Amino acid sequence: MTHVRKAVFPVAGLGTRFLPATKSVPKEMLPLVDRPLIQYAVDEARAAGIEEFIFVTAAGKGALEDYFDTAAALERSLADSGKKEALAALGATRMPEGALTFLRQNQPRGLGHAVRLARRLVGDEPFAVLLPDDVIRGAEPALAQMVAAHARTGGHMVATMEVPLNKTASYGVLDVSSENGRIARARGLVEKPRPEVAPSTRAIIGRYILQPSIFDKLDMLGPGAGGELQLTDAINADVEATGVTGFSFAGERFDCGSIQGFVQATAAFAMDRLELRDEFQAFIAGRSEIHRVAA
């Protein structure tokens, strides 16, 4: 089984739900506490052994490239003034030379289209896709769990989670044929089905390990749900030839593409920080009381 070395990060989305904040800042640069969303995704990929990072970006996303670049003047000034902690904080943004590639998606034609653009960079080997909007908190990083499971299953693998029936239209959904522990074999996948026609409530979350055969399927497909080229449709088209499993990861997922999810993630990650926890918890408890009394 080939080692998964490359990961694609589709980061071309406009982030309209976060306007006006995203008018001049890419949504992937919005911070949960003090780390931008993209840092969580890149750290998760690194923890899973990823060595090459392919970002599919768009106009206005330059801040993402700068973020992973060295900031010589800033680093010099922090070093000169002895600000060791601040300097150390920049460590997370340092990537090995040549490990990052940025390519442009010129038109918003969907997730499938974004992934297809990475074809030449991915080449003929299995690769991961991480959607930075989906932030997963847990003891073992989700992609690392998947890489370990994928070494046994092969084929395409998608991360999955149970969702309420009335939410299926927000996700890709699996038609499950059999299950064994965290792994479910799929006989099909549907992008954003209405609850009446959803094959299950097992939803796809934004982590994938894909075989390069996906690119031929993406080439063959036309637009799907929402008029966009859907990655889910391409995986579905490859169910028989390549095999698809859903992996129900251990961890808590936050939908940081929505304001509600983003705020909840902010609270969860703040509570994880010992130096913030007590004061933050007391503050939230106090607010809850104020709103309870006012209601």
Which residues contact ligand G1P (rule: CB under 6 A)?
A: 111, 131, 134, 171-172, 191, 203-206, 230-232, 257
* β-pair partners for 252: 137
Q: How far is the CB of 171 from ligand G1P (least distance, A)?
A: 3
Query: Among candidates 103, 104, 166, 133, which has minimal Cα distance to 28?
Result: 133
Which of residues 13 and 126 has its CB atom nearest to ligand G1P in the complex? Answer: 13
Q: Please, is 76 exposed, middle or buried when counting C-beta atoms within 10 Å of its C-beta (0-12, 13-18, 19+)?
A: exposed
Please check whether residue 29 is in contact with residue 37, taking contact to mean a CB–CB distance below 8 angstroms.
yes
Which of residues 17 and 35 has its CB atom nearest to ligand G1P in the complex? Answer: 17
The CA distance from 221 to 17, in Å, is 28
Q: Which residue is nearest to ligand G1P (CB)?
A: 172
Taking the CA atoms of the chain, what radius of gyration do you get in angstroms? 20
> How many other β-carbons are positioned within 10 Å of the β-carbon of residue 292?
8
Q: How far is the CB of 43 from ligand G1P (least distance, A)?
A: 19
Which of residues 95 and 223 has its CB atom nearest to ligand G1P in the complex? Answer: 223
Q: How far is the CB of 113 from ligand G1P (least distance, A)?
A: 12
The CA distance from 269 to 209, in Å, is 26
Written as six digits, the tokens of 105 are: 């998606």
Which of residues 26 and 257 has its CB atom nearest to ligand G1P in the complex? Answer: 257
| Angle, CA of 40, 91 and 118, to the nearest 5° | 50
Q: How far is the CB of 227 from ligand G1P (least distance, A)?
A: 12
Which of residues 44 and 134 has its CB atom nearest to ligand G1P in the complex? Answer: 134
Which of residues 10 and 36 has its CB atom nearest to ligand G1P in the complex? Answer: 10
Query: Among candidates 197, 196, 190, which has minimal Cα distance to 246?
Result: 190
Q: How far is the CB of 207 from ligand G1P (least distance, A)?
A: 9
Q: How far is the CB of 4 from ligand G1P (least distance, A)?
A: 19
